[in-house]
């Protein structure tokens, strides 16, 4: 999405951390398989985002792996939850 953690810390004073992760391995991948990784924001909240991720085998068009990842926005100095900045939310929500 174009956000680098180092830049967010320096310019905005925030950092994103993984709060929770639910992952499901469905099928194995093999060496040299052509894989596609899909990531989508499912929900945005005041101080967190929920992403869904999926890895598929391009040739077989089968889902190999699925995950749901919740990330929290923290004040980079205090490591306490804080609101996601409006410019970040606008870019995430495609505005």
What global pTM score does this model have? Answer: 0.82
Q: What is the domain partition of the chain in residue ranges?
A: 5-88
Note whether 35 and 15 are within 8 A (CB).
no
For residue 95, the model assigns a pLDDT of 53
Structure tokens at 10: 């320096």
For residue 8, the model assigns a pLDDT of 87
Does residue 22 register a pLDDT over 70?
yes
Residue 66's SS3 state is strand
Tell me which residue has tokens 């194995």: 28
Mean confidence (pLDDT) of the chain: 92
The sheet with strand 48-57 has its strands ordered as: 14-25, 62-75, 48-57, 35-44
- 5-88 belongs to which CATH class? alpha beta
Average pLDDT of 35-41?
A: 95
């Amino acid at each position: 999405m174009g956000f680098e953690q180092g830049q967010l810390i320096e310019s905005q004073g925030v950092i994103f951390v993984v709060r929770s992760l639910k992952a499901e391995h469905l099928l194995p991948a093999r060496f040299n398989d052509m894989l596609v990784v899909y990531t989508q924001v499912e929900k945005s909240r005041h101080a967190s985002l929920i992403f869904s991720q999926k890895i598929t085998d391009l040739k077989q068009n089968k889902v190999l792996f699925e995950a749901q990842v919740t990330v929290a926005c923290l004040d980079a100095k205090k490591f306490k939850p804080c609101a996601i900045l409006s410019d970040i939310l606008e870019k995430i929500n495609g505005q």
